[in-house]
């Protein structure tokens, strides 16, 4: 008898979602869908507001990713004003984005995902969390907490607070970095690097390449910004898309012309749209972004320790890793690269200059701002009237880019672990783990309110519930 399995809501991601697994008459997986079940409509809320409000307004899209939206919005407003922010403002924006990478990736790795794979996929879900991690490995947990705290402190020292700092503004930033704050960050860097290097070693020694296939491995394209010579980039750069072998499908493209290459498809069963590579159509134009996407598109990081670790990573995978689990590995590599880039930025004497903002009126009626958020390429696109009021806004957020990839991961994992209708807690958590590896932020992509228990419904072909599993 064909039936459906629902996993609702998916836990330890930012926002609400559910998973439906469709079984065939034999009890094997026929298909699977990752649904995002709530709508936010931020693009509509922004209409009629002034462009100067947009960085602060769009920051409220999310409590996890405010820095990402502030920076993308400020860049979009720079374009509307047709201003070039002072050099120091750009350095400081880069510094804040790197702080965001550190805190966001540390949160994803140590708090949300490490409990799955360090405590074991089949451990009691009630204790498979950061507190459980503390019980099992207090030293690792303590270091993870301090690493995230370090990233947050960078944001706080630049913007005045850890969440929703109203700091990046059209034309630059509104507060310089003092020498004392620079020195504090520099003094804390060695511990952060030691923690990151130690965690990379632990990850590598714990999971051999075969173990890293646990959340499925499949081919796709990858997308991200790259700098000169194909270096890893997070703030500016040119758009690159590569295929599963690393061959360049698209390269050296101004990201502001994204509509020529990226379009969004919709499905009636989810509020989250499906961006895809336009020339290849939907769904064949699937690409993935975020830590693994950036690691796959770049030639190298451009900093010594991260490049050394990247070389080791690439020894255990093809030029482009298709392993969903490798999102975690790539996340750690990006923390290391971010720390090295932070060190480099702070060594630049311009970093404490007080020339941090350029002033201008509205000079363009359409502007695009693109940068890399921790979860992937973030695009803001505004249209304004001559007074600077927003007439239309379009956001293509990182999580959306990975929608096709997340659905594919759910389907592949479910096919691997669900056979003849047998479903266990550990299997369900692996399916969820496939989603969590992408670290989706549904606050940004659509909506989020708090947390709820996990509910699994098994529904018969006639629509009658067969059984329900509930996780508190």
Partner 1 sequence: MDWIIGIGNRMRGDDGLGPVLVDRLEATLGVRTCSVDQLTAELAEDLSTADRVLFVDATAGENGIELKPIAPRPARGLGHALPPEGLLELTARAFGRAPAGWLLAIPGRLFGWGECLSEEAEACLFEAEATLQRWVQRAMVMVGV
In the range 115-134, which residues lie near partner 1 by CB under 8 A?
125-127, 129-132, 134
Q: Is 142 in the site for partner 1 (CB under 8 A)?
A: yes
Q: Is 138 in the site for partner 1 (CB under 8 A)?
A: yes
Residue closer to partner 1 by CB (options 145, 466) is 145
Residue closer to partner 1 by CB (options 61, 459) is 61
| In the complex, minimum distance from the CB of residue 441 to partner 1, in angstroms, rounded to a whole number | 12
Task: Name the 3-class secondary structure at 249.
Answer: strand
| In the complex, minimum distance from the CB of residue 141 to partner 1, in angstroms, rounded to a whole number | 6
Would you state the structure tokens that stand for residue 194, as one six-digit string?
Answer: 């030691």
Residue closer to partner 1 by CB (options 180, 449) is 449
Q: Is 467 in the site for partner 1 (CB under 8 A)?
A: no
- Alpha helix stretches (DSSP H) within 347-458: 398-401, 403-417, 425-437, 442-445
- Alpha helix stretches (DSSP H) within 14-86: 42-45, 54-59, 66-81
Would you state the structure tokens that stand for residue 286, as one six-digit string?
Answer: 């699937």
Q: Between β-strands 454-460 and 465-471, what pairing exists: parallel, antiparallel or unpaired?
A: antiparallel
Q: Quick check: 358 and 86 in contact, CB under 8 A?
A: yes
Phi, psi of 7 (to 5 degrees): -115, 110
Residue closer to partner 1 by CB (options 129, 353) is 129
| In the complex, minimum distance from the CB of residue 375 to partner 1, in angstroms, rounded to a whole number | 15
N residues, the chain: 472
| In the complex, minimum distance from the CB of residue 327 to partner 1, in angstroms, rounded to a whole number | 18
Stated as kind and residue range, the H or E segment containing 229 is none
Residue closer to partner 1 by CB (options 17, 29) is 17
Would you state the structure tokens that stand for residue 323, as one six-digit string?
Answer: 């392993």
Contacts of 220 (CB under 8 A, 6+ apart): 244, 286, 287, 288, 322, 404, 405, 408
| In the complex, minimum distance from the CB of residue 278 to partner 1, in angstroms, rounded to a whole number | 35
* Helix-, strand-, coil-residue percentages of the chain, each rounded to 5: 45, 20, 35
Stretch that binds partner 1, among 166-174, 267-275, 427-435, 449-457 (CB under 8 A): 449-457
Q: Is 152 in the site for partner 1 (CB under 8 A)?
A: yes
Q: Is 451 in the site for partner 1 (CB under 8 A)?
A: yes
Separation CA 67–CA 56 (nearest Å):
10
In the range 271-290, which residues lie near partner 1 by CB under 8 A?
none
Residue closer to partner 1 by CB (options 109, 232) is 109
Q: Is 167 in the site for partner 1 (CB under 8 A)?
A: no
Separation CA 376–CA 337 (nearest Å):
16
Q: Is 12 in the site for partner 1 (CB under 8 A)?
A: yes
Q: Quick check: 321 and 288 in contact, CB under 8 A?
A: no
| In the complex, minimum distance from the CB of residue 13 to partner 1, in angstroms, rounded to a whole number | 8
Stretch that binds partner 1, among 24-32, 137-145, 304-312, 455-463 (CB under 8 A): 137-145
Phi, psi of 427 (to 5 degrees): -65, -45
Task: Name the 3-class secondary structure at 281.
Answer: coil
Residue closer to partner 1 by CB (options 462, 472) is 472
Q: Is 163 in the site for partner 1 (CB under 8 A)?
A: yes
Separation CA 266–CA 43 (nearest Å):
16
Stretch that binds partner 1, among 11-19, 344-352, 406-414, 426-434 (CB under 8 A): 11-19
Residue closer to partner 1 by CB (options 150, 395) is 150
Tell whether the torsion through CA atoms of 441, 443, 447 and 448 is positive or negative: positive
Rounded to an integer, what is the distance from CA 326 to the centroid of its chain? 14
Q: How many residues at the interface with partner 1, by CB under 8 A?
A: 32
The interface mask with partner 1, positions 44-63, x = CB under 8 A, is -------------------x
Q: Is 198 in the site for partner 1 (CB under 8 A)?
A: no
Would you state the structure tokens that stand for residue 395, as one six-digit string?
Answer: 């956001």
Q: Is 11 in the site for partner 1 (CB under 8 A)?
A: yes
Separation CA 456–CA 193 (nearest Å):
41
Separation CA 143–CA 102 (nearest Å):
13
In the range 60-89, which residues lie near partner 1 by CB under 8 A?
63-64
Among 24, 41, 44, 135, binds partner 1 (CB under 8 A): 135
Separation CA 29–CA 141 (nearest Å):
36
Q: Is 146 in the site for partner 1 (CB under 8 A)?
A: yes
List contacts with partner 1 (CB under 8 A). 11-14, 63-64, 107, 111-112, 125-127, 129-132, 134-135, 138, 141-142, 145-146, 148-149, 152, 163, 451, 453-454, 471-472
């Amino acid at each position: 008898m064909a039936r459906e399995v629902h996993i609702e809501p998916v836990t330890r991601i930012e926002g609400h979602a559910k998973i439906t697994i469709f079984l065939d008459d034999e009890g094997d997986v026929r298909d699977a869908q990752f649904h995002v079940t709530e709508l936010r409509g931020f693009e509509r809320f922004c209409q009629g507001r002034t462009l100067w409000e947009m960085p602060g307004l769009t920051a409220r899209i999310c409590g996890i990713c405010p820095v990402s939206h502030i920076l993308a919005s400020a860049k979009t407003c720079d374009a509307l004003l047709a201003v070039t922010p002072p050099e120091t403002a750009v350095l400081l924006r880069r510094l804040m984005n790197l702080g965001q990478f550190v805190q966001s990736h540390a949160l994803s790795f140590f708090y949300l995902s490490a409990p799955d794979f360090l405590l074991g996929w089949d451990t009691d879900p009630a204790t498979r969390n950061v507190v459980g991690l503390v019980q099992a490995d207090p030293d690792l947990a303590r270091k993870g907490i301090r690493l995230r705290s370090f990233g947050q402190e960078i944001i706080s020292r630049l913007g005045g607070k850890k969440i929703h700092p109203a700091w990046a503004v059209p034309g630059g930033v509104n507060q310089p970095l003092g020498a004392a704050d620079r020195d504090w960050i520099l003094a804390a860097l060695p511990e952060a690097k030691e923690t990151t290097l130690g965690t990379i070693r632990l990850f590598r020694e714990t999971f051999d390449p075969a173990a890293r296939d646990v959340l499925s491995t499949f081919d796709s394209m990858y997308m991200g910004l790259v700098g000169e010579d194909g270096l890893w980039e997070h703030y500016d750069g040119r758009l690159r898309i590569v295929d599963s072998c690393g061959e360049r499908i698209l390269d050296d493209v101004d990201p502001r012309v994204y509509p020529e290459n990226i379009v969004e498809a919709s499905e009636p069963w989810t509020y989250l749209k499906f961006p895809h590579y336009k020339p290849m159509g939907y769904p064949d134009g699937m690409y993935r972004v975020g830590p693994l996407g950036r690691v796959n598109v770049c030639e190298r990081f451009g900093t010594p320790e991260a490049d050394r670790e990247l070389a080791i990573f690439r020894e255990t995978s093809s030029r482009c890793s298709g392993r969903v689990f490798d999102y975690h590995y790539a996340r750690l590599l990006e923390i290391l690269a971010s720390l090295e880039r932070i060190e480099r930025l702070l060594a630049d004497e311009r970093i404490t200059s007080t020339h941090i903002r350029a002033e201008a009126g509205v000079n363009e009626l359409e502007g695009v701002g693109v940068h890399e958020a921790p979860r992937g390429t973030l695009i803001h696109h505004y249209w304004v009237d001559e007074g600077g009021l927003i007439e239309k806004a379009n956001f293509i957020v990182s999580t959306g880019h990975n929608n096709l990839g997340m659905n594919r991961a759910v389907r592949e994992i479910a096919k691997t672990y669900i056979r003849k209708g047998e479903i266990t807690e550990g299997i369900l958590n692996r399916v969820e783990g496939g989603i969590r590896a992408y670290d989706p932020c549904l606050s940004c992509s659509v909506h989020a309110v708090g947390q709820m228990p996990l509910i699994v419904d098994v529904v018969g072909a006639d629509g009658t519930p067969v059984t329900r599993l509930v996780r508190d």
